[in-house]
Amino acid sequence: MLNKKIEKALNDQIKIEAESSQAYLAMASWAESNGFSGTSAFLYKHSDEERMHMLKLIKFVNDRGGQAIIPDLKAPGKEYKNLQNIFKLLLDHETHVTNEINSVVDVCLKEKDYTTHNFMQWYVAEQIEEETLARNILDKLKLVGNDNGALYLFDRDLSAMAAASGTEAGE
């Protein structure tokens, strides 16, 4: 049985994962409508993965005798300056998510809930991958700058990454 503090921390995290999914969906839609089909495929997939992160938490809370709450969400962004802007926002968002996951882990330790602590280790590892991936993409975009030919190749690379597997976009 989950104690109330843990249940609240996990429900807060459910909301954060839902917000991540919405944010990346908005970015995917912008990229698609601006002709970056590879980047949009990558972001749609990333959005799906965040939904999966949310569902995993929902199941865990309910299986352990708590009640997962489906949150309302504020509208995500709709305008982005360019791809660099998108991936900078994505990296900032993932850094925020990492901090939040660390706080959940902190509550687990304080409450001596080692089962939830163990469950949360999957998210801790996932965040390392996601932050690294976002940083690498941003580095590439900085090299690309305003070179349209390079941007075309970048978009093609992201399409290949999206097609390759769930792992690159953080399965």
Would you tell me which residues interact with ligand OFO (CB under 6 A)? Answer: 17, 20, 50, 53, 94, 97, 123, 126, 130, 170
Q: How far is the CB of 148 from ligand OFO (least distance, A)?
A: 30
- The DSSP letter of residue 65 is T
- What is the rounded distance in angstroms from the CA atom of residue 134 to the CA atom of residue 90? 7
Give the shortest CB-88-to-ligand OFO separation in angstroms.
Answer: 15
Enter the tokens of residue 109.
């330790």
Residue 123 or 154 with smaller CB distance to ligand OFO = 123
Q: How far is the CB of 98 from ligand OFO (least distance, A)?
A: 8
Minimum distance from residue 76 beta carbon to ligand OFO (Å): 14
Q: How far apart are CA 131 and CA 34, in angstroms?
A: 25
Write down the least CB distance from residue 107 to ligand OFO, Å.
16
The encoded tokens of residue 22 equal 């919405």
CA gap 98, 131 in Å, rounded = 9
Distance, CA of 62 to chain centre: 22
Query: Could you report how far apart the first and last alpha carbons of the chain are, in Å?
Result: 28
Cβ distance 63 to 119 under 8 Å?
no
Beta strands in 22-138 (DSSP E): none
Q: Nearest-CB residue to ligand OFO?
A: 53
